[in-house]
Chains A and B, each alone.
Chain A
């Protein structure tokens, strides 16, 4: 088993070599990942969770919305309700399976949008510089003044909750760090010889960004964004938990956790299940992101 330390040592060796050959670098990353069994194992977990969410209607044994007043709050293993039922007699297992859809959606979509928007703003600020850079980066600094959960809660709390508002809030929360990372990366690359050369030879701004900058900026952004997915899932479930995210009756892990908490005295084990799902998903994304970071990052 390749542990993180070995990966790091590989990286340190890598750092010595000039990282100009893009293809060689990605090959290296692939090579490292292939032997990082921990990361691979968690990647499989992610694939399974995503597959579970995507194929939920075919996998779930029951209809997640089907209520049954006769079978409320049943314990794990009651008849064919393998994980028990909730306060409306709905099948917990089916709701957990379907819940992955909402939770992943709320976890991943904001990161994607924030990556696109933040990445774009960062490249713009970094490449053009000057006043525009000032304007963009100082605005971002303001949002940096809020801890992420606080910012998400403030925005979605003021807007009045709901899944769409929650996703907007999360997107806004993640734009500043991504913007800062892409700005830093762009600024670094901008000063490098080959970009100067491209400029001197009359390349257009767009083509320079497309060919030279993006190739070097995408890596750090991608690493950072992959780490954000876990954070995003945690905060999104937290918003739903506070009643600011997904609305009932839709199954969502955070929301399920919050409603099942009311029956903590009847069914404590069932009550804890949605949290296990959030935990496993967030852990898997974190582990994989960590593996990626080690495989891709030149510095640890």
Chain B
């Protein structure tokens, strides 16, 4: 026996040497680890590093971690507090007003003395250049992909003009009192840097913005490294850590494992089932309401839900407390399209659990048992835990007299159903697509406007209400914020009166942080400010 071992050892040694050689060829030279620097390592849910060249992809998570870190928009979100829903705050524009003589002309006063990371100046020319980047397919810096993604926000823009070096005007096609909100999504990239790079492909390796972090390096699909921008124009938001490392980890289990084993300090969206384990290992689990809605949009043309009583019955059947419990407290009960903390919530009818009333309504509507088919997805961004959640909704609906068929499909297939609208899919009586509801249009109007009937927009089931139509027209022409907000609130209340959706729950935006991480203030928003975070070296 020993003989064989000897022989094999000789072989193994020789081959191990070869192995080591092959390795040094296969890997890149080592970068010495940074000394005495603090690094915040974040695990994102995205499958890849979001686009760094301006408008990020990967949904709002891209904006959260790549958009508002590298770049600024003219208007920013105030993410400094937890107690109220995040509102807009001056960014690269210090002030924005509607021209008193022209309700289509928006004037933006730009912040002075702001420099891009590459040292070039931020001014009116750069803003106009950035506007053409996403609106004019004739210019060389036009970005088709980002244009497509931004189309709904840019569609109302007629043209933009320079007033002076630090003032610009944007003229819309139709009066739109909410237009300024769109500018909070418009990232200002460096014209000088882009011209130096020559193409978006090259620019992606050297992006330059005005944001609180500078680009430090990227390994595609693995990590994005940003460093502190010492000269950020807002001294309050100069990051309190040296480096920010972002890693894509689409699987919840992987993120939890990475946090538990100390590979990262901050993870997005831990799954409810991992919470107990994370807490028992000393991790901080944070939750906070934010404008997210997990609901069903009804089909108002085909099937039982065209009857308001059936819609109300479904809403009365929901035991939202049980849902929250199943999600281990990572959600809050949903009674409207925006959460109660939203400024537009108002005093709507609340459909609290009332199974008897639900059954009575179904009988009154002569739909008992009431057969309905719900289109749902097996996964998807913002969908939370779609399968267990839909199963629970199904059980609750069936308890009051519905007979539910869940039509499970892939996330993209469901998006397709949602996009094409109820006409193409008359067999579906409701669709379960969760939504971001951070502004009145995306949170409220698009679900109920006549103009938004799918495939034109987000009104999947072709809802129509003359009173809402009238209000929305007025809102778009009202430039007095208080008056406008009152009307927006009214639209929200009417939606509830009409039981325009099956309201179920709002996500609580869970994230888990290592005990080393201090100073994070979670905002009631899709976006978060990481700059105040300090990272300790020990626990």
A–B proximity contact (CB within 8 A): yes
State the B residues within 8 Å of A (CB): 251-253, 256, 271, 273-274, 276-277, 322, 326, 378, 385, 387-388, 391-392, 395, 408, 410
CB contact under 8 A between A88 and B252, given known A247-B408, A262-B273: no
- The 8 Å CB contact of A263, one of B273, B322, B391, is B273
CB closest residue in chain A, given B275? A265
A280 CB–B CB distance under 8 Å: no
Q: Which residues of A contact B410 (CB under 8 A)?
A: 161, 247
Given A72-B326, A88-B387, A248-B387, also A265-B273 (CB < 8 A): yes
A69, B395: Cβ atoms under 8 Å? yes
Q: Which residues of B are found within 8 Å of A87, using beta-carbon distances?
A: 273, 385, 387-388
How many angstroms between the C-alpha atoms of A72 and B322 in the bound complex? 13
The interface of chain A, by Cβ under 8 A from chain B, is: 67, 69, 72-73, 87-89, 161, 247-249, 261-266
Please measure, in the bound complex, the distance between the C-alpha atom of A162 and the C-alpha atom of B424, giving whole angstroms: 22
CB distance from A228 to the nearest CB of B (A): 29
The B contact surface, by secondary structure, is helix
A69 to B391, CA, bound (A): 8
Instruction: Provide the residues of chain B in CB contact with A261, threshold 8 Å.
Output: 253
- Contacts A262-B252, A265-B273 known; A248 to B388 CB distance under 8 Å? no
Which of the residues B252, B271, B388 comes within 8 Å of A69, measured between beta carbons?
Answer: B388
User: Given the complex, which residues of A lie within 8 Å of B322, measured CB to CB?
Assistant: 69
Residues of B with C-beta under 8 A to A89: 391
CB contact under 8 A between A248 and B378, given known A262-B271, A265-B253: yes
A73 to B273, CA, bound (A): 9
- Chain A residues with Cβ below 8 Å from B388 are 67, 69, 72, 87-88
Whether A67 and B395, one on each chain, are in contact in the complex, defined by CB atoms closer than 8 angstroms, is yes
The residue that B391 contacts in the complex, of A67, A73, A265, A266, with Cβ under 8 A, is: A67
Closest Cβ of chain B to A271, distance in Å, is: 10
Contact A88 B391 (CB under 8 A): yes
A-B residue pairs, 5 tightest by C-beta:
A265-B277, A67-B391, A69-B392, A266-B273, A263-B273
Question: What are 13 contact pairs spanning A and B, CB under 8 A?
Answer: A69-B322, A69-B388, A72-B326, A87-B273, A87-B387, A88-B391, A247-B378, A248-B387, A262-B253, A262-B273, A264-B253, A265-B273, A266-B273
Q: Which residue of the partner chain A has the closest CB to B385?
A: A87
Q: How far is the CB of A264 from chain B (nearest CB, A)?
A: 6
With a cutoff of 8 Å between Cβ atoms, the chain B residues found around residue A72 in the complex are: 326, 388
A248: chain B residues within 8 A (beta carbon):
378, 387, 408
Q: Provided the pairs A69-B326, A72-B326 are in contact, do residues A265 and B378 lie with their beta carbons within 8 angstroms?
A: no
Chain A residues near B251: list those with CB within 8 A: 262
Give A261 to B274 CA distance when docked, in angstroms. Answer: 12
Task: For B406, give the chain A residue with the smallest CB separation.
Answer: A249
A211 to chain B, nearest CB (A): 51
Evaluate contact between A249 and B252: CB separation under 8 angstroms: no
Task: Looking at the assembled complex, report how far the CB atom of B380 sits from the nearest CB atom of chain A, in whole angstroms.
Answer: 13
Given contacts A87-B387, A248-B378, 6 further A-B pairs with CB under 8 A are: A67-B391, A69-B391, A89-B391, A247-B378, A262-B251, A265-B256
Chain B residues, Cβ within 8 Å of A265: 253, 256, 273-274, 277
Q: How far is B392's CA from A73's CA once the two chains are assembled, in angstroms?
A: 15
Residues of A within 8 A of B277 (CB): 265-266
Q: How far is the CA of A88 from the CA of B392 in the complex (A)?
A: 9
Closest to A259 in B: B387
Give Cα distance in the complex from A89 to B385, angstroms. 14
Bound state CA distance, A291 and B252, in angstroms? 43
Residues from chain B with a CB closer than 8 A to the CB of A161 are 410
